[in-house]
C-alpha cells in the first residue's frame, strides 16, 4: 500500500519501528532516517519503539522511507491518528498474539534449561538416568535451543553484523554461537581436548529470553497512561438522523455540523458544542480538574469528557485528529519521541558500544590464551572457584567451572564479556523515565512537548508571569456598586444599555445584573463612543442614558457629588476601572470593575518560592493594577514590570537569562512572543489552546497550582534519568572488566556466562523498574 498522501500531507510523522533491541539499533535507525532525502530530522525512542521524523517537501513517498528501514531489518509503519483503531479489538488481538508467541518461546527455552540441569545432574551421578547424562543429549538440547527460541536472536544478530551495525543480538549470538561451535568441535574431534559447553547456549538463551520477557512487561506498564487516554474515546456515538430518531454509528464516521446525543454515563466522542440540555460533565481525565463543569447550551465540550447526569444534544465541531483528545495524545507521543539532551552521550556510547565489546572480547580471548596463563599459571585451578562453581564430569563442563587449558579459559572469559555487556540499559536509561513522566503528566493535564522540554524545566531558576489571564482570571468582574440610592435600579439601567456591546467591561456589568436576577429593559437606540462609553434611550425612560468613564460623563455635563468623586479616586488608586451611569445630567451611581486573582495564585507562588524559584511579573497593564496585584501576591516593586510592549517583555527576559534559565508563564495566545523567547514557555489554558506552538509546557484547565507540581515532576524526572545513566554506565564499567578476568589472578573470581547473562537481563530490568517508581508530587 502506498503512503504517498500521508507524506505530502504531514510535516511531522510518528513511525512504529520493530526490530530495535539496544542503543546501537537506535543510532542505526536514526542514521538511516537522517540520510534519507525526505527527512529533515529524526528522533528515535527505544522504549516505545517509535521514530518521530520531520519531513522535507521532497515529493517522495513514505514508502521509500519505510523500505530503507526494512532493508536493514527494521520493519516500520506510520502510527494511526484514529484513536478507535488504536484501541480496537484487532489491535488488542495482535498484541495478545505477540505476547503468546513470546511466552511460548520463553516456555520452550525454560523447559530446555530444566532438561539441561537434569542432564547435568545425571551426568554427575546424582540421577540414575544414563541417557540424560550423555553428551549427545546435551548436544541435541543445544541444537534445539538455537534452532527454536534462539533462531530469531541469531538471525537478527547476523543481519546486524553483516550491515556493520552490531546490536545486542549480535553480542548474544556471538556468545551462544561460540560456545556451541566449540562444543561441537570437541564432540566430533575429541583429540583437541576441549571441554564441551553444550549446556551454556541453553542457559544463556533461557536467561536472555526471561530477562527480555520481564523487561517488555515492565515496558508495557510505562505506556499504560497513554493507552488509558486513547481509551477515553468511545467506539460509537448516537447520531441524530431526524427528529427524535437516533442511530448508533462509528465515531470515525461523524462529520462537523452533525448532532449526537449524550446520555448520562456516556463519554463525549468528539469535540462539540451543547445545543440542548443541561448536565454536570467530568473533565478530570483531560484537565485534572476535580470538580465537574456545568454544561448548558453554548458550552464547549472536549472529546473524552464524561457526561454525569442529564441528556445532552451535542453539535460536532471537530473530529478525528483535530479533537482535543487526539491532539493531547499527539503531544504526549511527540514528547516521548523527542530526546532529552542528556541522553545524547548515552546514545553516542551505545552506538559504538557493540564494536567496543567485540574488541574487548577478542582481546580477552587472545590475552588469556597466549599470555595470561604464562603470567598467572594458578588461574587454571583458581577459575574453578568463580561465581558459579561446578564440577567437571568427563569432557562436559560448564563455562565458569574449572578450565584445564588456556584455550578453554580464554574461550569462557571471552564469551562472558560478550553476554555481560548491556547496551540496552544505556538505550533505555532516559526514554523509560521520559515516557513514564510524560504519561503521568498528561493524566493530570500537563503537556510537555518533549524530553528536551522536561530537561529544561528541571533546570529553570526563574519564573516570569504575565498578569492578565495568568495570575488573574482574565475576566473583568464587578467588585462594588456605589453612589446610588437604588443600586439595583442603576445596575438594571446600565446593563440594559450595555446589552448590545461586546466590550469586556459591558460583559462584567451584564454578568452582575444576571447574578442579581435583574430583568433588562428594551433598548430603543444605542451609540458607542470609542474609548469613552455608550449612550442611548431605553423603553419607559425619557431622555438620554449614558454609561462610561467618569471623565466622559463630566465632559457631557453630568454633575456628581464630592463623595462620589472621592470613591472614584479611591477605586482608581486600587487599580479598579470605574464605569459611571447617568440619566440626562443626573449621576445615578457608579460601578467599580476589576480582574480578580485566581483562587490558587497565592498558593502556587508560595510553593514556587519554597522550591527556590525567583519570581517576576511583566505586564502591559497600568502601573496601579500591576502594583496592586504584586502587593497581594508578595512581590517586591523591583520584581514588577508594567505598561510593557511585547518587544519590551522579550528584552526583559533576555536580561533575566543572564542569571539562569527563565520560564515565561502566559495564556498561550497574547503572550506568544514572550513564550517563544523564554527558555521554557508555559501556557495556562483550556483544551482549545493546546495547539499553541509557542508554548513548551501546557497546563490545561484553570489551575495555576499545577505549575509548581509540574516543575517538581520535571526535577524528579531528571533525577531518575541521572540515576539510570549512572547505573547503566557503572554496571558496564564494573561488569566488563570482571568478566574479562581482572579479578581472576588476585582473587580467583570470574563471571561465568550464565551469571553474566542473568546480570545483563537484570541491568535492563532495573532501569525500567526505577523509571516506574517515579511519582509526581
- Strand order, beta sheet including 271-276: 245-250, 236-242, 259-262, 312-318, 271-276, 300-301
- For the chain, how big is the Rg over CA atoms in Å? 35
Strands 259-262, 236-242: parallel, antiparallel or unpaired by DSSP? antiparallel
Name the packing angle between helices 753-772 and 406-420 (round to 10°): 10
The owner of cell 509503519 is 77
The owner of cell 595470561 is 372
Separation CA 202–CA 396 (nearest Å): 14
Instruction: Please confirm, yes or no, whether 679 is among the known catalytic residues.
Output: no
What is the per-residue burial (b if ≥16 Cβ within 10 Å, else e) of 746-759? eeebbbbbbbbbbb
Report DSSP state, residue 372: I
Catalytic residue among 466, 567, 595, 679: 466
Listed in order, strand segments (DSSP E) in 598-726 are: 614-618, 640-641, 662-666, 680-685, 697-700
CB atoms near residue 610 (< 10 Å): 9
The answer to whether the CB of 481 falls within 8 A of the CB of 589 is yes
Separation CA 163–CA 183 (nearest Å): 28
> Which 3 state secondary structure label does DSSP give 448?
strand
Short-list 772, 770, 759, 768, CA closest to 732: 759
The answer to whether the CB of 291 falls within 8 A of the CB of 223 is no
Tell me phi and psi for residue 258, to 5 degrees.
Answer: -75, 165
Report DSSP state, residue 521: P
- Record the cell numbers describing residue 498, joined without a space: 450595555
- Record the cell numbers describing residue 723, joined without a space: 540515576
Positions marked catalytic: 466
Amino acid at each position: 500500500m502506498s503512503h504517498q498522501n500521508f507524506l505530502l500531507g504531514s510535516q511531522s510523522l510518528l513511525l512504529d519501528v520493530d526490530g530495535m533491541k539496544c542503543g546501537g539499533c537506535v543510532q542505526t535507525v536514526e542514521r538511516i532516517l537522517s540520510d534519507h532525502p525526505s527527512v529533515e530530522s529524526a528522533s528515535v525512542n527505544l522504549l516505545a519503539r517509535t521514530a518521530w521524523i520531520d519531513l522535507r517537501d521532497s515529493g517522495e513517498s513514505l514508502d521509500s522511507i519505510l523500505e530503507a528501514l526494512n532493508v536493514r531489518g527494521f520493519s516500520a509503519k506510520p502510527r494511526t491518528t484514529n484513536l478507535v483503531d488504536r484501541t480496537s479489538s484487532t489491535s488488542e488481538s495482535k498484541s495478545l498474539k505477540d505476547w503468546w508467541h513470546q511466552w511460548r518461546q520463553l516456555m520452550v527455552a525454560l523447559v530446555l534449561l530444566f532438561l539441561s540441569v537434569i542432564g547435568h545432574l545425571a551426568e554427575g551421578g546424582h540421577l540414575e538416568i544414563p541417557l540424560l547424562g550423555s553428551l549427545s543429549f546435551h548436544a541435541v538440547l543445544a541444537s534445539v535451543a538455537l534452532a527454536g527460541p534462539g533462531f530469531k536472536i541469531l538471525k537478527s544478530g547476523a543481519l546486524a553484523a553483516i550491515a556493520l551495525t552490531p546490536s545486542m543480538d549480535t553480542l548474544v549470538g556471538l556468545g551462544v554461537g561460540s560456545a556451541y561451535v566449540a562444543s561441537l568441535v570437541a564432540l566430533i574431534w575429541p583429540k583437541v581436548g576441549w571441554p564441551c559447553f553444550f549446556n551454556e547456549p541453553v542457559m544463556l538463551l533461557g536467561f536472555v529470553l526471561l530477562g527480555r520477557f520481564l523487561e517488555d512487561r515492565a515496558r508495557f506498564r510505562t505506556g499504560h497512561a497513554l493507552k488509558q487516554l486513547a481509551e477515553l474515546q468511545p467506539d460509537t456515538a448516537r447520531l441524530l438522523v431526524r427528529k427524535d430518531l437516533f442511530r448508533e454509528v462509528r465515531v470515525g464516521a461523524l462529520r462537523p455540523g452533525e448532532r449526537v446525543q449524550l446520555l448520562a454515563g456516556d463519554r463525549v466522542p468528539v469535540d462539540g458544542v451543547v445545543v440542548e440540555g443541561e448536565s454536570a460533565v467530568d473533565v478530570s481525565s483531560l484537565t485534572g480538574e476535580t470538580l465537574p463543569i456545568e454544561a448548558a447550551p453554548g458550552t464547549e465540550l472536549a472529546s473524552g469528557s464524561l457526561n454525569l447526569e442529564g441528556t445532552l444534544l451535542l453539535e460536532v465541531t471537530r473530529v478525528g485528529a483535530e479533537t482535543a483528545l487526539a491532539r493531547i495524545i499527539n503531544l504526549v507521543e511527540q514528547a516521548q519521541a523527542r530526546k532529552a539532551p542528556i541522553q545524547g552521550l548515552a546514545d553516542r556510547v551505545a552506538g559504538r558500544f557493540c564494536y567496543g565489546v567485540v574488541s574487548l572480547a577478542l582481546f580477552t580471548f587472545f590475552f588469556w590464551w597466549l599470555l595470561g596463563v604464562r603470567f598467572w599459571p594458578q588461574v587454571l585451578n583458581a577459575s574453578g572457584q568463580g561465581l558459579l562453581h561446578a564440577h567437571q564430569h568427563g569432557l562436559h563442563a560448564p563455562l565458569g567451572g574449572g578450565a584445564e587449558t588456556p584455550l578453554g579459559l580464554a574461550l569462557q572469559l571471552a564469551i562472558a564479556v560478550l553476554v555481560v555487556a548491556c547496551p540496552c540499559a544505556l538505550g533505555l536509561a532516559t526514554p523509560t523515565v521520559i515516557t513514564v513522566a510524560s504519561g503521568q503528566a498528561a493524566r493530570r493535564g500537563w503537556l510537555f512537548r518533549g524530553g528536551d522540554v522536561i530537561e529544561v524545566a528541571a533546570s529553570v531558576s526563574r519564573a516570569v508571569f504575565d498578569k492578565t489571564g495568568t495570575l488573574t482570571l482574565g475576566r473583568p468582574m464587578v467588585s462594588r456598586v456605589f453612589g446610588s440610592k437604588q443600586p439595583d435600579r442603576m445596575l438594571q439601567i446600565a446593563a440594559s444599555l450595555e446589552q448590545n456591546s461586546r466590550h469586556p467591561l459591558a460583559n462584567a456589568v451584564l454578568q452582575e445584573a444576571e447574578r442579581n436576577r435583574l430583568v433588562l429593559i428594551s433598548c430603543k437606540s444605542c451609540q458607542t463612543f470609542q474609548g469613552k462609553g455608550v449612550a442611548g434611550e431605553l423603553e419607559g425612560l425619557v431622555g438620554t442614558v449614558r454609561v462610561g468613564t467618569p471623565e466622559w460623563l463630566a465632559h457631557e455635563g453630568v454633575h456628581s457629588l464630592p463623595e462620589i468623586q472621592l470613591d472614584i479616586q479611591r477605586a482608581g488608586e486600587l487599580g479598579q476601572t470605574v464605569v459611571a451611569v447617568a440619566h440626562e445630567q443626573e449621576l445615578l451611581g457608579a460601578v467599580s470593575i476589576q480582574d480578580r486573582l485566581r483562587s490558587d495564585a497565592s498558593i502556587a507562588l508560595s510553593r514556587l518560592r519554597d522550591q527556590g524559584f525567583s519570581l517576576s511579573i511583566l505586564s502591559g497593564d497600568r502601573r496601579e493594577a500591576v502594583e496592586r496585584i504584586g502587593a497581594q501576591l508578595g512581590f517586591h516593586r523591583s520584581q514588577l514590570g508594567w505598561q510593557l510592549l511585547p518587544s519590551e517583555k522579550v528584552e526583559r527576559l533576555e536580561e533575566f537569562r543572564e542569571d539562569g534559565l527563565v520560564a515565561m508563564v502566559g495564556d498561550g495566545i497574547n503572550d506568544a512572543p514572550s513564550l517563544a523567547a523564554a527558555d521554557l514557555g508555559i501556557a495556562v489554558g483550556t483544551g482549545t489552546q493546546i495547539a499553541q506552538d509557542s508554548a513548551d509546557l501546557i497546563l490545561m484547565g484553570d489551575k495555576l497550582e499545577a505549575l509548581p507540581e509540574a516543575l517538581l515532576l520535571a526535577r524528579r524526572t531528571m533525577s531518575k534519568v541521572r540515576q539510570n545513566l549512572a547505573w547503566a554506565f557503572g554496571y558496564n564499567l564494573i561488569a566488563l572488566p570482571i568478566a574479562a578476568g581482572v579479578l581472576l589472578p588476585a582473587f580467583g573470581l570470574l563471571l561465568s556466562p550464565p551469571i553474566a547473562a542473568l546480570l545483563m537481563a537484570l541491568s535492563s530490568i532495573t532501569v525500567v523498574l526505577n523509571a516506574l517508581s517515579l511519582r509526581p508530587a
